[in-house]
């Protein structure tokens, strides 16, 4: 984020006349017809609730810990403890 902030801070700002200053990207207008699909912000979830289980995997143990949906960050502390 620091690099992005430094890069955008170096761009000149548009003037008060409404015209774009040199080096400033033009405004991009998106209409609903331009949308191909909506996928941003979706979090995988299971209707039966999250899953934490172990499975033998050769000489190791594989831990499944998924399906938290939008509560992943909140639940991760407890389910990570369960997985451990």
- In the chain, where are the structural domains located? 44-84
What pLDDT is stored for residue 35 in this prediction?
Answer: 85
pLDDT, tens only, 44-64: 788 888 999 999 999 999 999
What pLDDT is stored for residue 19 in this prediction?
Answer: 58
CA dihedral for 28, 32, 38, 40, sign (positive or negative)? positive
Distance from CA of residue 40 to its chain's centroid?
7
What pLDDT is stored for residue 13 in this prediction?
Answer: 52
Phi, psi of 80 (to 5 degrees): -65, -40
Q: Count the alpha carbons within 13 Å of 47 in the hemisphere toward its beta carbon.
A: 0
pLDDT, tens only, 12-43: 555 555 555 677 888 888 888 988 887 776 77
């Amino acid at each position: 984020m620091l690099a992005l902030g430094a890069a955008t801070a170096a761009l000149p700002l548009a003037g008060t006349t409404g015209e774009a200053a040199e080096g400033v990207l033009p405004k991009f207008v998106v209409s609903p017809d331009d949308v191909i699909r909506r996928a941003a912000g979706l979090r995988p979830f299971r209707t039966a609730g999250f899953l934490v289980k172990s499975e033998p995997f050769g000489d190791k143990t594989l831990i499944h810990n998924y399906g938290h949906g939008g509560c992943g960050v909140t639940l991760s502390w407890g389910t990570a403890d369960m997985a451990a």
